[in-house]
Every structure is written in C-alpha cells, then in structure tokens.
Amino acid sequence: MSSYKYKYLLVFLFVSSVFFSQQKKYSFGYRLKYVPDSTDTLNSKIEDFTLFVENGKSYFVSDNFLKRDSILNSIQKKQGIGFNFANTPNTRFRSVVIKDSGIKNISFYDNILKYYFSYQETPNFNWKLISEKKKIGDYSCSKAETVYAGRTWIAWYTTEISINEGPYKFNGLPGLIIQISDTKDDYNFELISIKKGNFPNDNTVFSENYLKKHKQLTKEEYLKVIKNINENIINEASMSGLTISPESVERAKANFNKRNNPIELNKL
C-alpha cells in the first residue's frame, strides 16, 4: 500500500471513529436468516431487526414487532374502526433486548399470548479473537469466536465503527459486529443498514409503562414457564379468549412441532 493510501485509510478510520463516538442516537439494521425446524434445514426464514444505540444503552427488536406495535397503537386511537387485524405484521420474535454497556447487564423482555415476562443476565461471552480477516461490504472485519447458550458462534466485527455492540445479546468485541452466525448456520445475523438519529420514542415497546408490565423472573424460571406455556399452547390460547376449531388445533400443533430449534439451546 502506498504511503498516500495508508494516510487516507488512517484519516477515514479516524473520521469514522469520531463520527460514531459523537453520535448520541443511531440504529443498525440486521437481517436474520434462521432455521426454525431442525428436521428441515433447507426451509429457512428471514426477518429484519434493528439495534438502536443511545447514550450507553442499546435496544434490539424485530422490525415487524415495532410495526405491529405502531399499527395497534393507531387502532386504539381510532377505536379499531374499519381495520382488518389480519393485516398486522406477524413475528415470532416479540422480545426486546436492552443492554447497558456501563454495567454489562442485559435485560430481556418477552411477550407470549397474554403473558409478559422479563429476566436479567450478565453473560460472559469470553470472546476468542482470531487473526483471520476479511472484507464485508465496505468494512474490514476481524474474526472472533464464543460459546453461548448451547451454540458456538463465529462473529466478524470491524474496528472502523467504534461501538462494542452487535445483534441480539452479543457485545463486548473491539468494534461493531457486522455478521455473526452459529457453526451450524441455523441463525445468521448480518448488518444491512446504518442510520443516525433514528430512535423510535413513539413506540410503546420502549416505554417505561410497557416494560413494567413484565413479571421479572430469573432466567431459569423464565425458561420453565415458557416451556410449560408452549407445551399447553392450545389451552393457553383458549384461555386468552381465542376460539379454535378442531382443524386449527391440529394445524397449530403441527406448526408448533416445527418450532424446535430456538436460538438458545438451554437445558433445564
């Protein structure tokens, strides 16, 4: 590399670092490609998420969950007049992950049917930094590896963006995670967009009232409760006021049996 190009690269990295360190609010879009059924690895799904970063905290949430929240808020204001509820975006990911980089604490908020649960954890990702490098899009990336919740994860991060953050619960690397996937490639997050000043303060899912609705449990308690709800999902749905035909029950059971490959393979 010529001295001119080297100096240009240093200037670019410095400007990029200063830009992201000075911004108070910005967002990173990630696309998740995942395999919900471990017995059908050729059938993958795609869903988009956003990582909002603001003043030392980050908020990770499904875009469809945000859109659904905005639509339902609008319906409430209009009292549901002339609206087809089937048009609301569907998502399997109704969780909000909030990370506080100052104390390395992660708060996980989840909603299933009429239930709202939360738990806190401080995972030790114990990243292994690897010398291998590659370019992803416009960014020069380095490789790292960790084991978390029953899966081995391979991450590619860039020091060109001086934010020690990433999708889902992942953080703690010397820069932004551009791409991360487990070694089976069941879950693969990849950065697709960067925006500044785009924190959605008007969404209910980030409000104090919404977060306080969640019953706080330990992670172990949460996993047991979710397992119980899933095993009795039909009865739970009926108790929530949903009328289910016999044909729909069988279809729901079949669909549930295909959801056997969660992102965290925790053992109770």
Integer CA distances (angstroms), 131 to 142, 144, 145, 246, in order: 7, 9, 11, 57
Measuring CA to CA, which residue among 169, 217, 121, 161 is closest to residue 12? Answer: 161
Does some domain include residue 5? Answer: no
pLDDT > 90 in the chain, percent: 55
Mean local confidence (pLDDT), 219-230: 91
Reported confidence tier of residue 231, pLDDT bands at 50, 70, 90: confident
Mean pLDDT of the region 118-135: 96
Angle 82-87-90 from CA coordinates, rounded to 5° = 145
% of the chain exceeding 70 in pLDDT: 75
3-state SS assignment for residue 155: strand
At residue 81, the pLDDT reads 53
The answer for residues whose C-beta is within 8 angstroms of residue 166's C-beta and 6 or more apart is: 51, 155, 157, 173, 176, 177, 180, 189
Buried b (16+ CB within 10 A) or exposed e, 243-256: eeeeeeeeeeeeee
Report yes or no on 149 lying in a domain: yes
pLDDT, tens digit, for every residue of 25-78? 889 999 999 999 998 888 999 999 999 998 889 999 999 999 887 777 766 665
Tally helices (H) and strands (E) across the chain.
6, 12
Dump pLDDT digits (tens) for 194-218. 998 778 777 789 999 999 999 999 9
pLDDT tens digits along 138-155: 999 999 999 999 999 999
Is 212 part of any domain?
yes
Rounded to whole angstroms, the Cα distance separating 2 from 157 reads 25
Question: How many whole angstroms separate alpha carbon 32 and alpha carbon 97?
Answer: 15
Task: Indicate the pTM of the whole model.
Answer: 0.84
More confident residue, 10 or 79: 79
The pLDDT of residue 266 is: 75
Question: What's the structural domain count of the chain?
Answer: 1
Q: Within 13 Å and on the Cβ side, how many CA atoms surround 77?
A: 6
What is the three-class DSSP state of 195? strand
Give the model's pLDDT for residue 202.
72
- The full length of the chain comes to 268
Residue 236: closest CA among 218, 256, 215? 256
Whether residue 249 is contained in a domain is answered as: no
Residue 71 domain boundaries: 23-217
Going by pLDDT thresholds of 50, 70 and 90, the confidence category of residue 17 is: very low
Residue 264 lies in a domain: no
Does a structural domain hold residue 186?
Answer: yes
Residue 191 within any structural domain of the chain:
yes
CA distance 165 to 107: 15
Q: Among the listed ranges 96-110, 115-129, 252-266, which one has the minimum average pLDDT value?
A: 252-266
Q: What is the pLDDT of residue 21?
A: 46
Mean residue pLDDT of the chain comes to: 83
Query: Can you give the CATH number for the domain in which 100 is found?
Result: 2.50.20
Say if 93 falls within a structural domain. yes
Cα angle value 116/29/212 (rounded, 5°): 20
